Amino acid sequence: MSKHFNIDHKRDERVGFQEIVFGASKSVDQLSKIINDFIKYQKSVLCTKVQKKKAEVLSTEFPGSFYDEISKIFLVGKFPIHFSKNEVAILSGGTSDQYLVNEIYFTLKFFGKEAERFQDIGVAGVHRLLNNIEKLKKFKVIIVIAGFEGALPTVAGGLLPQPIIAVPAAVGYGISKGGRVALNSMLSSCANGITVVNIDNGYGAAMAALRILNLK
Amino acid sequence: MSKHFNIDHKRDERVGFQEIVFGASKSVDQLSKIINDFIKYQKSVLCTKVQKKKAEVLSTEFPGSFYDEISKIFLVGKFPIHFSKNEVAILSGGTSDQYLVNEIYFTLKFFGKEAERFQDIGVAGVHRLLNNIEKLKKFKVIIVIAGFEGALPTVAGGLLPQPIIAVPAAVGYGISKGGRVALNSMLSSCANGITVVNIDNGYGAAMAALRILNLK
Amino acid sequence: MSKHFNIDHKRDERVGFQEIVFGASKSVDQLSKIINDFIKYQKSVLCTKVQKKKAEVLSTEFPGSFYDEISKIFLVGKFPIHFSKNEVAILSGGTSDQYLVNEIYFTLKFFGKEAERFQDIGVAGVHRLLNNIEKLKKFKVIIVIAGFEGALPTVAGGLLPQPIIAVPAAVGYGISKGGRVALNSMLSSCANGITVVNIDNGYGAAMAALRILNLK
Amino acid sequence: MSKHFNIDHKRDERVGFQEIVFGASKSVDQLSKIINDFIKYQKSVLCTKVQKKKAEVLSTEFPGSFYDEISKIFLVGKFPIHFSKNEVAILSGGTSDQYLVNEIYFTLKFFGKEAERFQDIGVAGVHRLLNNIEKLKKFKVIIVIAGFEGALPTVAGGLLPQPIIAVPAAVGYGISKGGRVALNSMLSSCANGITVVNIDNGYGAAMAALRILNLK
Amino acid sequence: MSKHFNIDHKRDERVGFQEIVFGASKSVDQLSKIINDFIKYQKSVLCTKVQKKKAEVLSTEFPGSFYDEISKIFLVGKFPIHFSKNEVAILSGGTSDQYLVNEIYFTLKFFGKEAERFQDIGVAGVHRLLNNIEKLKKFKVIIVIAGFEGALPTVAGGLLPQPIIAVPAAVGYGISKGGRVALNSMLSSCANGITVVNIDNGYGAAMAALRILNLK
Amino acid sequence: MSKHFNIDHKRDERVGFQEIVFGASKSVDQLSKIINDFIKYQKSVLCTKVQKKKAEVLSTEFPGSFYDEISKIFLVGKFPIHFSKNEVAILSGGTSDQYLVNEIYFTLKFFGKEAERFQDIGVAGVHRLLNNIEKLKKFKVIIVIAGFEGALPTVAGGLLPQPIIAVPAAVGYGISKGGRVALNSMLSSCANGITVVNIDNGYGAAMAALRILNLK
Amino acid sequence: MSKHFNIDHKRDERVGFQEIVFGASKSVDQLSKIINDFIKYQKSVLCTKVQKKKAEVLSTEFPGSFYDEISKIFLVGKFPIHFSKNEVAILSGGTSDQYLVNEIYFTLKFFGKEAERFQDIGVAGVHRLLNNIEKLKKFKVIIVIAGFEGALPTVAGGLLPQPIIAVPAAVGYGISKGGRVALNSMLSSCANGITVVNIDNGYGAAMAALRILNLK
Amino acid sequence: MSKHFNIDHKRDERVGFQEIVFGASKSVDQLSKIINDFIKYQKSVLCTKVQKKKAEVLSTEFPGSFYDEISKIFLVGKFPIHFSKNEVAILSGGTSDQYLVNEIYFTLKFFGKEAERFQDIGVAGVHRLLNNIEKLKKFKVIIVIAGFEGALPTVAGGLLPQPIIAVPAAVGYGISKGGRVALNSMLSSCANGITVVNIDNGYGAAMAALRILNLK
């Protein structure tokens, strides 16, 4: 039988961060093999979007592992001991987006960055954003999450000078089900210089922030 | 040959306002016949979205008619002499949306309502909206136009208590070309109780405002 | 850990009605925390689209709460004692749309308005609408629900002079699955001055009616 | 060089009507060759959707030909001398749909059926349909054209017992531009037993009527 | 509480056939009430697309009822005793489409027409259609079902002279999942005079056939 | 009752390979009948996309059958004894695509071709492809699977001279959920002469390879 | 100023055929520079989809060049002197598809293969295909072009054993405008082992055929 | 008449760069007024996507202005005298994308950054990228443009550690017409931490780069 997985060990060298495992479409069996490959090379391994049932099996197989039920982040190994703080702010409109807030938060933590979370900064009550502007100006990168109509990054983009990474959330119903409206809204923003990642791609937003923070 | 047009003379009686003519997909010849039908009944007639070339021919045929090149509104007859003011405010994000601002403005004027226009209230500079809030609270109906990401009605909806009618404009490019992103964004708004009309349907927004203003 | 929820206590002051909780994408745990926050401020709280299983758990936690299984409206606290009547009529085509009829009905009830329901006014038997026209003319706002081809608001809009809020229902199959056909049909209506809300957004239609009824 | 066109001479034998030529995507040169092929076999030939400029050239080449500028039907040869009447009624909502009314009318005429046209039966004034119901009940087949929200076939379908063929027109703007909303609305109709043809396929509707009328 | 259902008792009189109940989006409770309403008027009632679990409960409540698990047709009452035969042929490409074959078959049976079924007439083996042409020419109406690329009605339409009603089936995967490709293919058919109903609308196809067969 | 299935026994003769059974939308009962038909003619039968639960029942009914849980291939009968090797290479980006790798692998095996699998040739680490180029040049046909952005066939197409069949996988989330992005990306490839099959159509890719390999 | 174009001189070596120039989105000025680069290296150069006006200017600049107005192929240099014949058959449904027939024909000719053209093999008259089956069986590769519903490759695929490359044509109107219906229909084909290229990508189909013919 | 334009003079202060004018949907008259407003405040003004005909009129009105016909950038005023270099690299696949290369180049130049352009780095010849990797590693921000299948950012993202901003170009035909395929492909990229802007939004990509470069 052919071989199914080769860790891209040189990714770190090439792009400055190690490979992460996308957990959603892999079976427990496949994930287990991959995690053991990482362990063999004495590396920690972070898996994203690991469904709860799969995480429960894996938690038994890998004692001491970490699982965040909200974001479905699964970690075998350890978060770094030292963190840099005040580099990334994560803004979101409310409780429904928390799964992405956490995916970003834990991915950055895995790479030694502790982000600050500003939740419930909903655009339907714009004062909540306005009240935080001075505080927000101190961060290097702003990540903004929104579902439904996805307007928050546009308002934030008109008020803040930093790099802004917009993350559409698959939160909504009717026409906004699945997150496409938020995605398209962010791409069309009349605020300048906002960049966007795929729907629910919290992990990708964290990596984009990391690429910026890694600049010398 | 069969007959092609019957004015719905009782519409006024049934729903409180007379029939308006959609000009975009009718030929000069067809429009001319319809206008003459109205004239026969001694009525003014308002045609929307009449392309410039067609309007030029019609202007010659109907001397004294009014044509607004920006909105493509064509009027044979007269605007009423007396207007009620301060009932409708029209908000928009900038110069590109002016064609809709005017379509709404002249349709309301045809029915005796003079709207006030607040242009360049762009969401990428939210202070421009905030500075006008007290002034805006005095109107009965707020009509909000936006193209691109269509975020303005959402921000307005969180700050103002009146009926808000959102009008998506076919202004944008790439993913927002044609106005669908603005439309979907408005429909998905996390602000409460906003209603929406079709893309570029300034006329419909004016009629919806009229239905509200006609309430006793 | 950061804080996840801040009630927008001033919304009432700004826009004339208090905040409502969107229940579909929140966990029982998250809803429970939010409801307790409202209780702390001695407010009733209305949650929309709370799935049955979640409502069962919450009903145990909050005894005396109200749950309508059809609309999935969950209320902790009380409906007002006094209602104004004859202000809103809700039209729908049949049994399949009842979940939206109820969502609108109970949301308006929460804000002290008792709506009248006209169900089974299907457009495939237009006499059912025609027979009710005189009765319908007495209401201030007409809310019209339709799934499938969404034609009912168009026919109603040609017969009634009041503000008409069209609500597309995610009822249908094949091409009309999910409610987009009804939504697009309503937005494209050749009847004048109809406004539209998102698919299944009964709550939003109720709030839009409220904005109109709150006009002095 | 290879041969480009073979008339399907046996189509008549197989399906009961001869081949018709789709003119929109063929050059004048290509149309000319095809028409000459028909002439060689002493047949009349009907071409649909022939753009005006192309028709002008062809009219010169084929003197005595017939061209309807509204429907863009081009005929070389003759309409039959005897017609059956009162078999097909064509309903439409107004002047903008006339191009399809005519395409259907002339196609049926080519096959010896003279249809009756009921124009301006708009659904926003449903009395115009109701007033014609008794008259309409006398036809064998009803063809209903509609653009925008496409609601007319649904209302007609609830009132009339005959075969109803719905034809969506590419008339509308914003979301209904191109005729998809009308098409989808017709396909989703809650009226029973309506069938639908492609957007702007007046010719196809005529042929479908013919298949019914040809039944013994 | 308001009333939820009114049988459209005059539909039979208006359009020649009685009302049928769409079962998919109604609860057991709602269906039960509706069925009892029909029973009260001593009518048989046919419900379409009743999911198996719901049918099991209803079968207990209405002993002697008929349920076809494949098409999900549920009948309370009786099929007529006498049938006309050889009026409708149902063509389909294979086993996967059988749910629609049966929905059409039983709906027609309810109205006293026994259709003949030609299954496994797949277009990828066109000889299977060619071998049946002479036999098929004897029917008055041809109903053709297809999923995937939906090509069968096009081939049949070029070989048969009768009215052809095409029914797209939600059978396929990848790009053809949900039946849209088959639907669009049928609408675009280069065969003449084919008409189309909504995806999975076997019931509608049967009613369209009935409208034709009811012609005097 | 009518007959539901006719094996297309002459397909082999016409196109060079026997019929295969699409299992996803057939019931256990339907599959069982079809398999028995093949057995009656002493043929092996391969069923694709047979869901696990159905396969478990069928495995009991047909002892000695083969089922691959990953690809959901179900075989009653035997794979050929002799294989030709080194004719087809299957490239894929990682573990998530394995279900298609196997569907292709086992389909080709059924027809006597043993493909070689190159898994984890992800485009985000292009060296993994570059390192295998010389090895890959020895195969007659290259099948390339990709989900997400579907870029792998484009890069491969610029480096390899053989026929390249691209297979989009329904692997991804957000905008790439369902495989459409990969499909469209492959169709749009700026590499020359790549051909594409439907999303998840591993079986079709295998058959396309077979058509090439069967050329004399 | 930076350099805009580098011929990929080694493409021939890598993949077995030289680079071709996509003409549609390049200006005359840009095309002229690129062609001169090829001339410098004494190579012939084939440009696809060069609009007529641009070709007229280029024809003057490069005397002796070849331009086919139907396919918009522009060649500077020479077609090879010797051709292999009987390797590729091009099937199409009629005159409207000729632009693709020619694009494929001339591209293959540029690479020394003379294809045979079978035009007017329309699927609505399936006998035209059946009559040619024996003749078609002699070719190595079959390329099938279709617009509208795109059914021809499916029927051909059930009758012929060779590699079949399906090319969707942007010929149609209404729902089939732009070629998507034909594309999706081909991808969904229930015939086995058909592969597909992008809409209007005649050039790509030719290259895919070439990859097969180049196999030893 | 109401006022149509207010320069957002404080944008510079808020977000670190001045307002830019979107020229595509404004008339010459509107652009002229806006430019004069900037002149009044002694500011240079950059307008994007100004169509050639409009630019010709404006060039006469504002002598000494700069217009780049390829990108349609129009500048009244001056580019800065001093530039920082080696901060941004712009990658693109070929001549067809040059309009975006230039839009980015001139926007960055307006803000004092001279970008380096790497054109013809097409993904179908991946060696052209590989040969430039060491050179590219020296830049702070990489902007990657691609039309068609949009694969270039994915390959670049796997080889380079810097912030990568992907810009989809509306270059392609058939399924990739309009740039959506490139956009979706970039959003779905399996390379980590790539961010994306709207189709053809070269200006936005430049501003996003500027937000990064402005970080202290």
Check CB contact under 8 Å for C96 and E26.
yes
B131 touches chain A (CB under 8 A): no
Residue A15, amino acid: V
CA angle at residue A115 from A114 to A118, to 5 degrees? 150
In chain E, the residue whose alpha carbon lies closest to the alpha carbon of F22 is E96
H200 with H170: CB under 8 angstroms? yes
Does the beta carbon of C198 lie under 8 angstroms from any beta carbon of chain B?
A: yes
Please tell me which of the candidates F160, F195, F206 has its beta carbon nearest to residue G196: F195
Segment 144-183 of chain E within 8 Å of chain F by CB = 147, 171, 173-177
- Whether residue G124 lies within 8 A of chain D, CB to CB, comes out as yes
Interface contact flag, F211 G16, Cβ < 8 Å: no
Q: Minimal Cα distance from C18: which residue of B?
A: B192
pLDDT tens-digit map of H103-122: 999 999 999 999 999 998 88
* Interchain CB distance below 8 Å, C187 and B183: yes
Cβ proximity of C158 and D124 under 8 Å:
yes
Q: Stretch F106-128: mean pLDDT, rounded?
A: 92
Residue of B nearest to H33 (CA): B95
pLDDT of residue F57 exceeding 70:
yes
A198: its two tokens? 């795929």
Number of residue pairs across A and B with CB atoms under 8 Å?
A: 119
pLDDT of residue A1: 34
E55-87: pLDDT as tens digits: 999 999 999 999 999 999 999 999 998 889 899
pLDDT in tens, B112-135: 999 999 998 888 888 889 999 999
Q: Among D21, D182, E17, which residue's Cα sits nearest to residue C187? A: D182
Please, what is the average pLDDT of chain D?
92
> CB–CB of C189/D148 below 8 Å?
yes
Please name the residue of chain A whose CA is at the shortest distance from the CA of residue B122. A190
Per-residue confidence in pLDDT tens, chain C, 216 aa: 334 456 676 777 788 888 899 999 999 999 999 999 999 988 999 999 999 999 999 999 999 999 999 999 999 999 998 889 899 999 998 889 999 999 999 999 999 999 999 998 888 888 889 999 999 999 999 999 999 999 999 999 999 999 999 999 999 999 999 999 999 999 999 889 999 999 999 999 999 999 999 997
- Determine the average pLDDT of the residues in A202-208: 97
- D33 Cα to chain C: minimum distance (Å): 41
Which among B89, B23, B13 is positioned nearest to B54, based on CA atoms?
B23
Task: Say if E69 is an interface residue toward chain F (CB within 8 Å).
Answer: no
Taking only the tens place, the pLDDT of each residue in D166-176 is 999 999 999 99
Which 4-33 residues of chain G touch chain F by CB within 8 A? 11, 14-17, 20
By CA distance, what is E33's nearest residue in C? C95
Chain E residues touching F12 at Cβ < 8 A:
none
Cross-chain Cβ contact C120/E5 below 8 Å: yes
Q: Report the mean per-residue pLDDT for chain E.
A: 92
Spell out the residues 6+ positions from residue H102 whose beta carbon is closer than 8 angstroms to its own.
H68, H70, H71, H73, H202
Q: Give the pLDDT score at H24.
A: 94
Residue F12 binned pLDDT confidence (cut-offs 50, 70, 90): confident
Q: Give the model's pLDDT for residue F5.
A: 53
Nearest Cβ partner for F11 among E119, E125, E177: E125
pLDDT attached to residue C7: 66
Give the tens place of pLDDT for each residue, A88-128: 999 998 889 999 999 999 999 999 999 999 998 888 888 88
What is the widest separation between alpha-carbon atoms in chain G? 61
How far is the alpha carbon of G196 from chain F, nearest alpha carbon, in Å?
Answer: 5
Do chains C and F touch, with touching meaning 3 or more CB–CB pairs less than 8 Å apart?
A: no
Reduce the DSSP state of residue H30 to 3 states and report it. helix
Element spanning E86, H or E? strand E84-91
- Once rounded to an integer, what is the mean pLDDT over residues F43-53? 96
Whole-number pLDDT of residue G3 = 42
Contact D93 C124 (CB under 8 A): no
Check if F211 contacts E (Cβ < 8 Å): no
Q: Do A200 and F96 touch (CB under 8 A)?
A: no
Residues of C in Cβ contact (< 8 Å) with E198: 173-176
User: Average pLDDT for residues D84-93, to the nearest whole number?
Assistant: 94
- Confidence label for E1 from pLDDT (cuts 50, 70 and 90): very low
G168/H120 Cβ within 8 A: no
F3, F26, F179 member nearest E96 (Cβ): F26
- Percent of chain B at pLDDT > 90 equals 80
Taking only the tens place, the pLDDT of each residue in H38-53 is 999 889 999 999 999 9
Which of G149, G184, G186 is facing E154, going by the closest CB pair?
Answer: G149
pLDDT in tens, B31-77: 999 999 999 988 999 999 999 999 999 999 999 999 999 999 999 99
- Separation of CA D1 from chain center: 35
pLDDT digits (tens, 9 = 90+) for D96-133: 999 999 999 999 999 999 999 999 888 888 888 999 99
- Give CA–CA dist B190/C104, Å, rounded: 17
Q: What count of other Cβ atoms lies within 10 Å of the Cβ of residue H113?
A: 22
Amino acid letter at B189? S
From D188, D196, D208, residue closest to E193, measured CB to CB = D208
pLDDT of residue C183: 98
With an 8 Å Cβ cutoff, are D190 and C125 in contact?
Answer: no
Q: What is the pLDDT of residue B5?
A: 53
> Do chain D and chain H touch with ≥3 beta carbon pairs under 8 Å?
no
Is any Cβ of chain C less than 8 angstroms from the Cβ of E49? yes
Residue F132 contacts A, CB cutoff 8 Å: no
G125–D8 C-beta distance less than 8 A: yes
Q: Determine whether the interchain pair C192/B15 forms a contact, defined as Cβ–Cβ distance below 8 Å.
A: yes
Q: In what order do the strands lie in the sheet with C141-146?
A: B113-118, B84-91, B141-146, B164-168, B194-196, C194-196, C164-168, C141-146, C84-91, C113-118
Chain F hits for A198, CB-CB cut-off 8 Å, are: 173-176
The nearest CA of chain H is from the CA of A184 a distance in Å of 8
Q: Indicate if the pLDDT at residue H12 is higher than 90.
A: no
Measured CA to CA, the distance from residue E117 to residue A15 in angstroms comes to 63
Does chain A touch chain E (at least 3 C-beta pairs within 8 Å)? no
pLDDT tens for each residue of chain G, 216 residues long? 334 456 676 777 788 888 899 999 999 999 999 999 999 988 999 999 999 999 999 999 999 999 999 999 999 999 998 889 899 999 998 889 999 999 999 999 999 999 999 998 888 888 889 999 999 999 999 999 999 999 999 999 999 999 999 999 999 999 999 999 999 999 999 899 999 999 999 999 999 999 999 997
Which of A162, A167, A195 to substitute to test the interface with H, most H CBs within 10 Å?
A195
**How does pLDDT run across E9-52, given as a tens digit for each residue?**
677 778 888 889 999 999 999 999 999 999 998 899 999 999 99
Which candidate in H6, H25, H48, H177 is best for mutational testing of the B interface (most B CBs within 10 A)?
H25
Q: Show the CA angle centred on residue D45, arms to residues D40 and D46, nearest 5°.
A: 165
- CA atoms within 13 A of residue D135's CA, in its CB half-sphere: 11
- Does H188 contact F123 at a Cβ distance shorter than 8 Å? no
Residue burial B77-104, b: 16+ Cβ < 10 Å; e: rest:
beeeeeeeeebbbbbbbbbbbbbbbbbb
Question: Is A41 in the C-facing interface, judged by CB distances under 8 Å?
Answer: no
Contact residues for H121 (Cβ-Cβ < 8 A; gap 6+): H91, H92, H93, H128, H129, H132, H152
Sign of CA dihedral H47, H49, H55, H59: positive
- To test the contact with chain C by mutation, choose from D130, D173, D184 the residue with the greatest count of C C-beta atoms within 10 A, namely D184
CB contact under 8 A, F176 and A170: no
Which pLDDT score, from 0 to 100, does residue F7 have? 66
Residues A2, F124: C-beta atoms closer than 8 Å: no
Query: SS3 letters for F121-164?
Result: CCHHHCHHHHCCHHHHCCCCEEEEEECCCCCHHHHHHCCCCCCE
Residue F3 has pLDDT above 50, yes or no: no
Scored b (16 or more CB within 10 A) or e, E129-155 reads beebeeebeebbbbbbbbbbbbbbbbb
In this complex, does chain E touch chain H, defined as having at least 3 beta-carbon pairs under 8 Å apart? no
* Predicted local distance difference test score (pLDDT) of residue B7: 67
Closest C-alpha to E144, from E194, E188, E211, E181:
E194
For residue D18, the model assigns a pLDDT of 85
Whether the CB of B199 is below 8 Å from some CB of chain D: the reply is: yes
In the complex, which subunits touch D with 3 or more CB pairs below 8 angstroms?
A: B, C, E, G
